Amino acid sequence: MCFRQFGLLRFVIIVASIELVYAQSHADVKRLYTDLFTDYRKEIIPTADQSKPLVVGVTFHIASFNSFNEVDETMSLTAVVDMNWTDPALMWDPTLYGNTNFTTINPKDLWLPQIYLTNTVDPMNPVGHDSKVYPTIGYTGKVFYSHGGILKAKCPTDISKFPFDSQTCTLELMTWGFVQSQLLLSSNFDKAQLGFFDAHSDWNLLEYSTHVVSVSFGYSMFNSKTHL
Ligand SMILES: *[C@@H]1O[C@H](CO)[C@@H](O)[C@H](O)[C@H]1NC(C)=O
Ligand SMILES: *[C@@H]1O[C@H](CO)[C@@H](O)[C@H](O)[C@H]1NC(C)=O
């Protein structure tokens, strides 16, 4: 009898702990997707008060330094650009969706900020336009979007220090289409992040600062200054 009661208690404890670790099912996430996106308009910048700017945090990672061409005056590097913001239309109560705290979604389904490298030597496309990385959304409306690509910028060559070449190049990334009263960039760090960085045999990165400036025409511009 005593052993049986203990057995029952153990059974109850096991069931209770299964409930505690109960995770989201496919059906929960599908219902969440339906509820969030049925009435969602990805064409509209996601601010509850449209007279206030959406603040987008930017983290710039230098993945590799590819080349510096003194004749063409161009620098090429591979960058990963992380962006984060809050979309008030993408908030939910996790307990109603099997404790789904966050999920990854197709980039074509939500509003995404676009930035352009203004001193590019390639056709003018938004940075990462050909990457299809899935953004992550959290139940508090926080969106995390990581994209990137090869950025090739025009940079005046400094030949004054020849042959001890030392070059500075600033990548200028602008929120074209949205003025800063609508979209404001904010630099998450004052330096480019080098967690993914592969060193280059000919060039040393001496400086790699990042900051946001406000430019003419009222755009917000993210600058990544590289000193080689
Ligand atoms: C972006 O993320 C960073 C790091 O978590 C945070 O400090 C910053 O406030 C976020 N920015 C926005 C605009 O949400
Ligand atoms: C979801 O968020 C809640 C509240 O912040 C937290 O207690 C819980 O551990 C989170 N669950 C997961 C799976 O991250």
User: pLDDT tens across 201-221, in order?
Assistant: 777 888 899 999 988 778 999
Number of domains the chain contains? 1
Give the residue, by CA position, lying nearest to ligand 1 atom 10: 57
Domain membership of residue 10 as a residue range: 2-227
Least confident of 16-25, 58-67, 98-107, 125-134: 16-25
pLDDT at 11 over 80: no
Q: Which of 221, 192, 191 is nearest to 65 (CA)?
A: 192
84 lines ligand 1 (CB under 6 A): yes
Residue 140 CB less than 6 A away from ligand 1: no
CB of 174 closer than 8 Å to CB of 220 = yes
Q: Whose alpha carbon is nearest atom 4 of ligand 2?
A: 101
- Nearest atom in ligand 2 to 23's CA: 13
The preferred substitution site among 143, 188, 210 for testing ligand 1, maximizing ligand atoms within 8 Å of CB, is 188
Confidence (pLDDT) at 20:
53
Q: Which residues pair with 170 in a beta bridge?
A: 225
Looking at the CA of 20, name the nearest ligand.
Answer: 2
**Cβ atoms within 10 A of the Cβ of 187, count?**
19
Ligand 2 center to 101 CA (angstroms) = 6
What residue has token string 């003018």?
Answer: 124
Residues linked to residue 143 through DSSP beta bridges, in sequence order: 85, 137
Going by alpha carbons, the residue nearest to atom 3 of ligand 2 is: 101
Q: Ligand 1, residue 85: give the atom nearest the CA.
A: 14
The whole-number average pLDDT for the span 187-214 is 89
pLDDT score of 187 more than 80: yes
Q: CB-side exposure of 133: number of CA atoms within 13 Å?
A: 19
Q: What is the pLDDT of residues 45-100, one digit of tens each?
A: 999 999 999 999 999 999 999 988 888 889 999 999 999 999 999 999 999 999 99
Whole-number Å distance, alpha carbon 104 to ligand 1 midpoint, is: 18
CATH of the domain at 136: 2.70.170.10
